[in-house]
């Protein structure tokens, strides 16, 4: 897996009219985690670190980053949206532990060709796809 790169504030995407201290704090929090996290998880992390960022600002920033394609999102089994700043900058998929949320980035392999072929078979021009694998990581299986 490629190493996570440290992004400088100037390399961050512009969100809305201006990049505020609160938005920068959300981006810093995302860069500091390696698992998918909910907006509530990120808000709690910020609060515990003494950052004064409202939950609405966290949600808004995450949505804007997602819309820009700057972060990955997925929905867990309850339908909650989870967010992550990924190390891979190219299209990829994830293995996600349903217990501890450990996440491994993987390339799509044969999924990529299957998605393209399936779309074409039904007359679709594919604009994107998602494929995540959920289960238990090795550590959680051993417990």
Residue 86 is assigned to a ligand binding site: no
Q: Which residues are CB-contacts of 73 (< 8 A; sequence separation ≥ 6)?
A: 62, 66, 81, 82, 83, 84
Count H helices and E strands in the chain, helices first.
5, 5
d(CA 86, CA 45): 18
Residue 93 is assigned to a ligand binding site: no
Residue 43 is assigned to a ligand binding site: no
d(CA 19, CA 31): 16
- Binding-site residue positions: 91, 97, 100, 112, 129, 137, 140
- Binding-site residue positions for Zn(2+): 97, 100, 137, 140
- Binding-site residue positions for Fe cation: 91, 112, 129
């Amino acid at each position: 897996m490629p190493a996570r790169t440290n992004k400088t504030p100037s390399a961050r995407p512009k969100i809305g009219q201006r990049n505020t201290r609160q938005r920068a704090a959300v981006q810093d929090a995302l860069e500091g985690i390696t698992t998918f996290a909910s907006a509530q998880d990120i808000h709690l992390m910020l609060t515990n670190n003494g950052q004064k960022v409202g939950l609405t600002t966290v949600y808004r920033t995450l949505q804007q980053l997602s819309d820009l394609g700057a972060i990955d999102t997925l929905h867990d089994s309850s339908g909650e949206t989870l967010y992550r700043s990924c190390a891979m900058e190219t299209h990829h998929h994830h293995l996600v532990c349903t217990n501890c949320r450990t996440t491994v980035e993987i390339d799509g392999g044969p999924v990529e060709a299957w998605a393209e072929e399936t779309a074409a078979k039904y007359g679709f021009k594919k604009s994107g796809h998602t494929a995540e694998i959920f289960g238990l990581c090795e550590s959680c299986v051993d417990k």
